[in-house]
Amino acid sequence: MLKLKRAYDPAAAGDGRRVLVERLWPRGISKDNLKLDGWLKDVAPSTGLRQWFHHDPERWTEFQRRYRRELSAHPDVWKPLVAAATAGPVTLVYSSHDTEHNNAVALRAFLTPKIRRRTTSSTAGRRTSGTARARTRAKS
């Protein structure tokens, strides 16, 4: 499960693993005061894409398309988030004031189907192994 939270909001017990998904450190927050389990700078949009988007809602659709293309080209930067989210809750921490049009929202939309597939395939794998064990026992 992936949650979203602004860096300026307090951490909560239900956040699970908290990961900053920004290329730049949030303004006005000291590193000691932001409770994080990690900072994945490289999962954030490139500097050029971030500057082009400039949090303009009219560019949101195109921003998402371009960001998905960047993410698809670098699976090594987002696969740890998929692995963590299949193990428990993960909160993507971001600094934008706009809670609807930001990289964390786009990142969650990109990752959610991958997490579902991984969860579904691991569940299917367990069912298959259970079925295979049952067949083996039946033959004995």
- β-bridge pairing 17-20 and 2-6: unpaired
Q: Percent of the chain having pLDDT more than 90?
A: 81
pLDDT of res. 1: 86
* Residue numbers of the domain that contains 75: 2-139
For the whole model, what pTM was predicted? 0.84
Q: How many CB atoms lie within 10 A of CB 91?
A: 24
Amino acid at site 41: K
- Residues whose CB falls within 8 Å of the CB of residue 8, separated by 6 or more in sequence, listed in order: 26, 28, 29, 95
Report which residue type is found at 118: R
Residue 118 CA from chain centroid, whole number: 14
Residue 123, pLDDT score: 58
- Indicate whether 132 pLDDT > 80: no
- Chain mean pLDDT for the chain: 89
Six-digit token pair at 122? 């691991």
pLDDT tens digits, residue range 13-37? 999 999 999 999 999 999 999 999 9
Q: Are strands 2-6 and 90-94 parallel, antiparallel or unpaired?
A: parallel
Number of compact structural domains in the chain: 1
Q: Pinpoint the alpha helices (H) of the chain.
A: 47-53, 60-73, 75-87, 103-139
118 falls in which pLDDT band (50, 70, 90)? Answer: confident
